[in-house]
Structure 1
Amino acid sequence: MKVGFIGTGTMGSLLIEAFVTSGALEPSQIAVSNRTYTKALALASRFVGISAVPANAACAANSDIIFLCVKPLEFKKVVDELLPVIRPEQLVVSITSPVLIAHLEEMLPCKVAKVIPSVTNSVLSGATLCVYGSRLSAEDEARLEILLNRISKPLQIEEPYTRIVSDLSSCGPAFISCLMEQFVDAAVEETGISREEAGKVVASMLLGTGLLLTEGGLSLADVQAKVAVPGGITAQALQLLRRETDGVFNRLVRTTHAKFDEDVSKVSIAFYGEEVNGQ
């Protein structure tokens, strides 16, 4: 199997490195292209055997699966470049959430899927969100999930829920890290503990909490109940936390959805020249 990656930015590079280090793909199975060819060459130099090619069409032509790892407004240009070489049996996988399956199926004659990775995939953990187009067979889905399973837990979702599930899975590490950074800052300011020591404690805590929620079989509420003794220190602090953060995540979701809707509209205009169905 040959796999092409068009775009070697943060997420494209992360996927390539994860697939290679996990053993899911051999470097010789991978071809990469990028708008700036020197960046593709630089990535290929890190993994002997990866082929860097100067044109997106050349990268796609010889690949069974093609990952499109480019920004939303670059998709129309890339799709136009691929049209002369794409064949019906090939599978094109977008990793960009505002680009809808309908956008790609209307423009490309091949099989189409959307995959939303997470930074956690770089340590072969977390989820990868999967949305499948109408042309994929069960065998196509299984082939892709076998690949993704080496670096994550593939989760099939419905496209209308792409944004909210991405908030939880892909944006979540940044949101939780932001909160924990503030926790560490407060610990340093209030007690004088070193930032390094506080950071190590928080990192271990996050890892252990994740294991409780997965291997331990606990729910989020279960974890709180096990830690917070009625009338105790944690219970009192939780009351403060709930009061001070009331509504924060509702506003966060509204913010991400508003930006997503704006991006979908821009992609639709790029593909069709005008807004389609209000998007």
Structure 2
Amino acid sequence: MKVGIIGTGNMGSIIVEAFIEGKAISPSDFYITNRTIKKAENLQQKFPSLHVCKKSIDVIQKSELIFICIKPRDIYPLIKQNDSALTRDKCLVSITSPISANQLETLVPCSVIRAIPSITNRALSGVSLLTYGANCDEFWKRKIKELFSYISIPMEIEQNITRVASDIVSCGPAFFSYITQRFIDGAVTKTEINQSTATVLAGEMLVGLGELLKKGFYTLPTLQEKVCVKGGITGEGIKVLESELGDVFEKVFAATHEKFREDLEEINKQFD
């Protein structure tokens, strides 16, 4: 199966690298392009048998499965420019949350899927979020789930939880990276540990925490219970977190949803 990638920025490149290294798709089956073609050529240097195309229409014509990995506001004009090539036998996959699969179906006769990946998929782990268009062929539903199974745990979601699910799966790594960096900085500021040592210790702690949860040894609440001894040091730290964090995460989700609402308004103007 020939797979096209339009847009080889951060997420487009991650999808290509993960599918290749996860043995889901052979490099020679990829046809890729980017507005700045040098970015596509950089991927080709890593995987020489990749095909780099100068134009998006070439990618679409040569591929059966096409991933669109560009900014939301650029998707509508891209599809309108190339809609004649998106024939009924193909499948179009968008990785952006503000545009629904059903909206895309109003523009093209082919099957449509929205697949929201995570940077964790680069390590062949984490979750990918799938939403199928109302008219999506069953073949493509099975195929996309199979492909994402090589690099993640694919999970089908409904439209109404798209933003919050994406916040957790896709934005979550950045949020918790920021928190971890502040955790490390606090240790370095208040003690004699150096940045390098604190970073290694925190990184290995996160890996170990992930393994505990993945293997089902503990849930998040029971893990806290196991570590927190009554009257102990961990408990004192938890008290500070309870006091200082307040409703910070409620504010985080409020902010992401407000930005999402703004994006939806801009996108809906295009589709209306």
Q: Same fold (TM over 0.5)?
A: yes
Under TM normalisation by the shorter chain, which class is it? over 0.9
CA–CA distance in structure 1, aligned partners of residues 94 and 217 of structure 2: 33
What is the one-letter code of the residue matched to 2:130? C
State how far apart, in whole Å, the 2-side matches of 1:136 and 1:103 are: 13
| Number of the residue aligned with 1:146 | 146
Q: CA deviation at 1:204?
A: 0.6
- Work out whether residues 56 and 81 of structure 1, in 8 Å CA contact, stay in contact via their aligned partners in 2: no
CA–CA distance in structure 2, aligned partners of residues 40 and 170 of structure 1: 23
- The answer to whether the 8 A contact 1:2-1:29 is kept is yes
Matched, 1:222 2:206: no
Q: Which amino acid aligns with 1:79?
A: I
Q: Distance in 2 between matches of 1:66 and 1:258?
A: 30
The equivalences for 1:120-135 within 5 A come to 120-135=120-135
Q: Secondary structure at the match of 1:107?
A: coil
**1:241 corresponds to:** 241
Give how far 1:209 is off: 0.7
The answer on whether the counterparts of 1:125 and 1:153 sit within 8 Å (CA) in structure 2 is yes
Deviation at 1:217, TM superposition (A): 4.2
Partner of 2:92: 92
Secondary structure of 1:143's aligned partner: helix
Query: In the alignment, residue 129 of structure 2 is paired with which amino acid?
Result: L
CA drift of 1:161 comes to: 0.5
User: In the alignment, residue 3 of structure 2 is paired with which amino acid?
Assistant: V
Residue matched to 1:157 = 157
> Equivalent pairs: percent with the same residue?
38
Q: Which residue number corresponds to residue 117 of structure 2?
A: 117
Deviation at 1:61, TM superposition (A): 1.4
Secondary structure, aligned partner of 2:85: coil
For residues 108 and 179 of structure 1, the distance between their equivalents in structure 2, rounded to whole angstroms, comes to: 42
Shift of 1:168: 0.8
Q: What is the aligned partner in structure 2 of residue 27 from structure 1?
A: 27
Matched residue, 1:83: 83
Query: Which amino acid counterpart does residue 96 of structure 1 have in structure 2?
Result: T
The 3-state SS of whatever aligns with 2:5 is strand
CA distance in 2, matches of 1:149, 1:246: 37
Q: Aligned-residue CA RMSD in angstroms?
A: 1.2
Q: Which consecutive unaligned segments of at least 5 residues does structure 1 have?
A: 273-279
Q: Where does residue 267 of structure 2 map in the other structure? A: 267
Q: Which amino acid aligns with 2:165?
A: V
Deviation at 1:31, TM superposition (A): 0.2
CA contact under 8 A between 2:32 and 2:53: conserved in structure 1? yes
Specify the alignment match of 1:195 in structure 2.
195
Per-residue CA deviations over 1:240-269 (Å, capped at 9, x if unaligned) read 101211100000000000001111111111
Instruction: In structure 1, give the amino acid aligned to 2:210.
Output: G
